[in-house]
Amino acid sequence: MNGYSSFAAQQGQRDLSSSHPTRIEPPCRNSYNSLINSRFPDSLFQNVSRPGRYAGGEWNSVTKDWDTASLRIALCYPDVYELGMSNLAVPVLYDILNRQPDVIAERVFTPWTDMEGLLRGNAQRLFSLETRHPLSDFDIVGFSLGSELTFTNVLTVLDLGGIPLLREERSARHPLVIAGGSCAVNPEPLSDFIDLFFIGEAEEGILELLDVYRTHSGVREQFLRSAARLHGSYVPSLYAARYHADGSFQAIEPLASEAPAIVSRRIVPVLPPPPTHPVVPFLEATHDYASVEIQRGCTRGCRFCQAGMIDRPSRTRSRAQILEACEQLADNCGYGELSLLSLSSSDYPEIEDLVSDLEPLCQRRNLSLSLPSLRLGPQSVRLLEAAPGKRSSSFTFAPEAGTERLRRAINKNVTEEDIFSTLQAVIQGGWTKLKLYFMMGFPTETEEDIEGITDLVRRILRSGPRLGVNVGVNLLIPKPHTPLQWAPQDDEKLVRAKVDLLKSGLKRGSVKLTWPDSHVSQVEAALSRGDRRIGKVILRAWQLGSRFDAWGEGFCYENWRMAFESCGFRIEDFANRERALDEPLPWAHIDAGVSQAFLKREYGRMLSGTPTEDCRTEDCNACGLHAREDGCAERLRAGKATVS
């Protein structure tokens, strides 16, 4: 059930006037209209699909007096509203910034193509949801970058907002454009368009950045030079990209004394309390539930997983803090489901006790509890069985590879026994549907490994003949700051051959198989591992009409092929080429925490099929965080700070 309608049903006629004074509560359109800038007429909403994406006024949204604020920030997730409202970073920053008395933080998302056409056709600017001010009226526009396939959407937002696309064309009268998120660990592809990247976790650093902005408000160059000194800040205009005579990348070099040669990812040693007044969307969001991040970081060390590398170290919130947050979310939002978020929820040290703690709340408020990202094993099945509330009929797990040899190589240390003991627990628990996720395209992968996927699925079908089985196979996208950053991506011909092998092996079973679009994956890989020259390609693809590349109906490979060719490049050189270990990398000036020496060592262990133990339970793997005061959980526990 949508959170707003659920909350209204639960609350009835209860007086809510004592709540946070700047938050929109049961929205009344007449009173709300008095708060908004009326440049975009309501009458135009009838001409677009899902006008609720642009209406604003949701429960818990924050409005402030525009004229009395000294700093106005637009927070943007460059995709549609439903996806952006499911992003974890947006509510965290929205809460932190709106707690500052002199700051206004408002939301904006990329409009769907019909709304883009409407804005252009009526000479209207893209506007914020809270007060409908155009983006050009804000002091700062901040993007949360979660996927390379949203890069063209960033340009759409800037252009519709009345902001020059290229940072070098902006003056003091234009908003400052900043960006962060997982894609910022290789900032170069977007460096032509972004004034400042914040590398890492922003809960503390964003307030330091605002202090610098207040000091240098209106003096753009002085602000950027001062901001470059902040831990985690990367200012592209203060660096130059160097290339060899043959056009190959050489290095990123600082041009100013304020610009460090290496920019280190910002790490928050102790997780602050989670937001408990998130905006409740009118539309059903992709993740339509209240959520609490119970743990950040993962030390399992899967060699293909960027989040598992760049989100280190592992830090947890206390059971008491999580329980209190869930109580407040139940009071403030009205969702029918609570979700405990983590890269690996079953690794939370007291997960069984935490689930038990939450049971009275869930029973009292008729809530379901979900635990995504559980590790393979019967204990995870039992944990889901113990979780209160309505249970999904579908159980999901990800073996990732079809053979135990390849799982060891990618450091997904899951055995055949783990898989089939989990399966038996699923069958005994009464689940009727099973979703299996695999990847292909790993280094050292053979035809036997692909056949291993079909063999494993067929054996699962024999063990659980009444189960409906869906199999999803994705293509490896080698990501920066992972051990596989040097690896080539499979080309279209090889992907097609592997998919044909899977289809042939599973055609007799009652299995629904989905496989990757090699062209989409190739574009993502090229954008992920590109250097500063890729900015021209992104701009050209956008000019050719590329929008919403992560959406099937939006992606156009021909646009990207033409964009690369018109800029004098081959997309294969960025996506499908293996890199030498001594080759300069476009993201080497960004220290994501894990060292290049560790990643090279892990790549070698990948090629030899040697697993690496989890440093939470075994010896330190010397990944690089141990050398940083803000980095290693062991150092934090030893007294540098306390992991709550």
Mean residue pLDDT across the chain: 90
Residue 255: left if φ>0, alpha if ψ -120 to 50, beta else—which one? alpha
User: Mean pLDDT, to the nearest integer, of 325-335?
Assistant: 95
pLDDT of residue 465: 85
Q: Tell me the C-alpha to C-alpha distance, in Å, between residue 386 and each of 371, 418, 423.
A: 11, 20, 17
**Residues 254 and 298 both lie in one domain:** no
Q: Are 607 and 444 in contact (CB under 8 A)?
A: yes
Residue 72 φ then ψ, to 5°: -120, 125
Query: 513 is written with which tokens?
Result: 């198989």
**DSSP labels, 366-381:** T-EEE--SPPSSHHHH
Same domain, 159 and 193: yes
Rounded to whole angstroms, how far apart are CA atoms 198 and 579? 27
Same domain, 15 and 98: no
Residues 216 and 293 in one domain: no
CA distances from 315 to 24, 48, 629 (A): 33, 43, 15
Q: From CA 580, how far away is CA 328, in angstroms rounded? A: 52
Q: Domain with 284 in it: what CATH number?
A: 3.30.750.210
DSSP 610: -
Whether residue 200 is contained in a domain is answered as yes
Instruction: Check whether residue 238 and residue 368 sit in a common domain.
Output: no
Residue 154 contacts residue 143 (beta carbons within 8 Å): yes
Structural domain count, the chain: 2
Which CATH number do you get for residue 96? 3.40.50
Q: How distant is the alpha carbon of residue 352 from its chain centre?
A: 27
Cα-to-chain-centroid distance, residue 314: 17
Q: Is residue 135, in this structure, part of any structural domain at all? A: yes
**Which tens digit of pLDDT belongs to each residue from 121-178?**
999 999 999 999 999 999 999 999 999 999 999 999 999 999 999 999 999 999 999 9
Lowest mean pLDDT among 88-92, 482-486, 487-491: 88-92
At position 264, the amino acid (one-letter code) is S
Q: Are residues 287 and 366 in the same domain?
A: yes
- What distance lies between CA 131 and its chain's CA centroid? 27
Instruction: Examine the fold and report which residue of 264, 285, 319 is the final residue of a domain before the chain moves on.
Output: 264
Residue 31, token pair as written in the block: 């009173």
Q: Do residues 241 and 338 share a domain?
A: no
Nearest residue to 252 (alpha-carbon basis) of 591, 527, 628: 591
Position 520 scores a pLDDT of: 98
Compute the distance between CA of residue 519 and CA of residue 200 in angstroms, rounded to an integer.
29
- Do 240 and 284 lie in one domain? The reply is no
Tell whether 286 and 232 lie within a shared domain: no
Contact present, 163 and 200 (Cβ < 8 Å): no
- 489 — pLDDT class (breaks 50, 70, 90): very high
Contacts of 582 (CB under 8 A, 6+ apart): none
HEC string for 184-244: HHCCHHHCCCCCEEECECHHHHHHHHHHHHHHCCCCHHHHHHHHCCCCCEECHHHEEEEEC
Q: Which residues pair with 280 in a beta bridge?
A: 59
The one-letter code for the residue type at 521 is S
Is the residue at 593 inside a domain? no
Query: Do 292 and 329 share a domain, yes or no?
Result: yes
Q: Which of 264, 299, 326 is the last residue of a domain?
A: 264
Please tell me the pTM assigned to this model: 0.92
Question: 38-50, pLDDT tens digit by residue?
Answer: 577 788 888 999 9
Both 176 and 145 in a single domain?
Answer: yes
Task: Kindly state whether residue 202 falls inside one of the protein's structural domains.
Answer: yes
User: Which residue, 471, 475, 506, is CA-closest to 489?
Assistant: 475
pLDDT the model gives residue 229:
97
Q: Check if the beta carbon of residue 53 is closer than 8 Å to that of residue 80.
A: yes
Separation between Cα atoms, residue 103 and residue 95, nearest integer Å: 11
Instruction: Classify burial at 547, counting beta carbons within 10 Å of its beta carbon; exposed 0-12, middle 13-18, buried 19 or more.
Output: buried
**What local confidence, expressed as pLDDT, does residue 166 receive?**
98
Residue with tokens 């040693």: 269
Q: Determine the Cα–Cα distance for residues 475 and 534; give it in Å rounded to an integer.
A: 22
Q: What are phi and psi of 96, to 5 degrees?
A: -60, -45
Task: Examine residue 397 and state whether it is found in any structural domain, yes or no.
Answer: no
Q: Are residues 229 and 131 in the same domain?
A: yes
373: domain range? 1-20+277-391+613-626
Q: What band does 503 get if pLDDT is binned at 50, 70 and 90?
A: very high
Instruction: Please answer whether residues 257 and 277 qualify as being in contact, where contact means their C-beta atoms are separated by less than 8 angstroms.
Output: no
Residue 591 three-state SS: strand
Which of 211, 238, 264 lies at the terminal end of a domain, its last residue?
264
227 close to 189: Cβ distance less than 8 angstroms: no
End-to-end distance of the chain based on CA atoms, in angstroms? Answer: 33
Is the residue at 11 inside a domain?
Answer: yes
Q: How buried is 150 (Cβ within 10 angstroms: 0-12 exposed, 13-18 middle, 19+ buried)?
A: buried
528 located within any domain = no
Residue pair 433/395 in contact (Cβ under 8 Å)? The answer is yes
Q: What is the average pLDDT across 438-456?
A: 97
Residues 109, 81 contacting (CB under 8 angstroms): yes
Residue 4 pLDDT greater than 50, yes or no? no
Instruction: Give the pLDDT score at 618.
Output: 86
- How do residues 588-632 score in pLDDT, each as one tens digit? 999 999 999 999 999 999 999 999 999 888 889 889 888 777 766
CA angle 631, 637, 641 (to 5 degrees): 70
| Model confidence at 634: pLDDT above 80 | no
Is 476 inside any structural domain?
no
pLDDT tens, position by position, 561-584: 999 999 999 999 999 999 999 999
C-beta separation of 275 from 95 below 8 A: yes
